[in-house]
Amino acid sequence: MSNSLTIITQNKKMNAIIELIRKFANSDSSVLLIGETGVGKEIFTDYIYHTSKRASNPFVKIALSAMPPDLMASELFGHEQGSFTSANRLKKGLMEIADGGTLFLDDIDDIPLDIQAKLLRVLESGEILRVGGIKTISVNIRLISASKVDLKELVKKNLFRNDLYYRINVVPIEIPPLRERRDDIPLLINHFLKKFSPDKNIKVSPEALAILINHPWLGNVRELRNVIQRVSLFCSDEIKLSDLPPEFNKESPLIQIIKACSLCFSNDKFNFNQIVHCVESNLIREALKETNGNQSEAAKKLGLSLSTFRDKMRKYAKSFGCK
């Protein structure tokens, strides 16, 4: 694997995924990555490719959502000269170009049903037929697919072929959204600051960091990257709360709680983990208060899964917290 390729994480779930990848990377099994937009599915694809035995062979990435449906067959399988009006020369398809290597189909949930049937045929036979062609061509590819939605739901609605689903879902990997791995946010912030402002030594104030950690991040890592890139352009030494975009500076309950944690932010002896413990324990306490102790509703209010919320409740059961 390339030493330059790393996944920035300290989260248990993410590290478990990385360990799983190391176990199957050298196989030729098809992989299905499931996760919200912006969670980093392409980064994981790169990691799988570079840790596999095919790392020196072709690596072809296809964004299916950006490909016009009427051109998809030609782009994937290629076409023969004269097979349609504008086919003035032979064109190799991306699956043929990926022969011997790895093919990444991003947003496979956007693939039309007629193309799904042709893709299934290729995966089962190991052969492609160019548009307008009469001779099959053997291909040997390792398929990695990515979906932003649960394909099982599309199967139920007859929008995705059941047989294709099981063919691509040999090794499913569900990548958690950023709001379920908030412990990665400080690492990612430092990574993006070094990437976008390598000549600056920018720090993040405790107040701003607490806000960034507890933001819902509906756009996941991609949204965080864009925010840090924007903020780093105008900061020279420290990112303060006032430097964050307007949506971060509203007088929300979160801001009020952080302001109430004056002890944390004024005490130089409090380290980062203590500050995070203080803020998160207060958030959990307030969420439970507002939902009359209903843990499911409190978890939804904070944008957490119920299991993550309960883990945090246990974690902070004896936490000091600010009163």
DSSP string, 35-96: --TTS-HHHHHHHHHHTSTTTTS-EEEEEGGGS-HHHHHHHHHEE-TTSSTT--S-EE-HHH
Q: What is the pLDDT of residues 80-93, one digit of tens each?
A: 776 766 666 788 88
Mean pLDDT of 16-39: 94
For residue 319, name the pLDDT band (cuts at 50, 70, 90): low
pLDDT at 266 over 70: no
Tokens 């059941």 locate to 162
Tokens 């009020």 locate to 256
Single-letter amino acid code for the residue at 108:
I
Look at 192 and 268; give whichever has higher pLDDT: 192
Q: Which domains does the chain have, with CATH numbers?
A: 12-176 (3.40.50.300), 179-315 (1.10.8.60)
pTM, whole model, 2 decimals?
0.75
Q: What is the pLDDT of residues 133-181, one digit of tens each?
A: 788 999 999 999 999 999 999 999 999 999 999 999 999 999 999 999 9
Report the C-alpha gap between 255 and 41 in whole angstroms. Answer: 32
**Helices and strands: H and E segment counts in the chain:** 15, 11
Alpha helices of 235-271 — where are they, by DSSP H? 253-260, 262-266
Q: For 181, phi and psi rounded to 5 degrees?
A: -140, 55
For residue 3, name the pLDDT band (cuts at 50, 70, 90): very low
Element (H, E) at 204: strand 203-204
Look at 91 and 268; give whichever has higher pLDDT: 91
SS (H, E, C) 7-42: CCCCCHHHHHHHHHHHHHCCCCCCEEEECCCCCCHH
Element (H, E) at 212: helix 206-214
Report the C-alpha gap between 38 and 131 in whole angstroms. Answer: 34
pLDDT at 35 over 50: yes
Look at 270 and 196; give whichever has higher pLDDT: 196
Element (H, E) at 310: helix 306-315
Query: Strands 102-106, 142-147: parallel, antiparallel or unpaired by DSSP?
Result: parallel
- Listed range (51-65, 143-157, 282-296) with the worst mean pLDDT: 282-296
